């Protein structure tokens, strides 16, 4: 194995969106750094099953108006 090409592997603290933390090893940051997550398995819709639709610029309203006559899914 080549010398001095591998990143340093050290302990960091990961802070979830609800404030809970855990310690893990990573090559990210410096030893003792805290990685604050914006999205994690406790808040991401893929794992929670809770989905929110964000209407940016009225796009959702335009879509619903355009396809209102199809009666597919929730209106």
pTM above 0.85, yes or no: no
Span 66-72, average pLDDT: 78
Residue 75: pLDDT over 70: no
46: which 2 tokens? 């893929």
Residue 9: per-residue pLDDT: 93
Could you read off the pLDDT of 21-63 as tens digits, one per residue? 999 999 999 999 999 998 888 877 777 777 666 666 677 778 8
* β-pair partners for 10: 26
Domains of the chain in start order, with CATH, are: 1-47 (4.10.80)
- Are 37 and 22 a contacting pair, CB within 8 Å? no
**How would DSSP label each residue in 5-71?**
-SPP-EEEEEE-TTS-EEEEEESSSSTT-EEE-SS-TTT-HHHH-------STTHHHHHHHHTGGG-
Q: Which residue has the higher pLDDT, 4 or 52?
A: 4
């Amino acid at each position: 194995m080549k010398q001095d090409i591998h990143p340093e592997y050290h302990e960091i603290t990961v802070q979830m969106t609800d404030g809970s933390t855990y310690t893990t090893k990573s090559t990210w940051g410096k030893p003792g750094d805290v990685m604050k997550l914006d999205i994690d398995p406790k808040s991401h819709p893929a794992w929670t099953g809770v989905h929110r639709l964000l209407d940016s610029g009225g796009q959702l309203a335009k879509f619903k108006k355009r396809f209102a006559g199809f009666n597919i899914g929730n209106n």
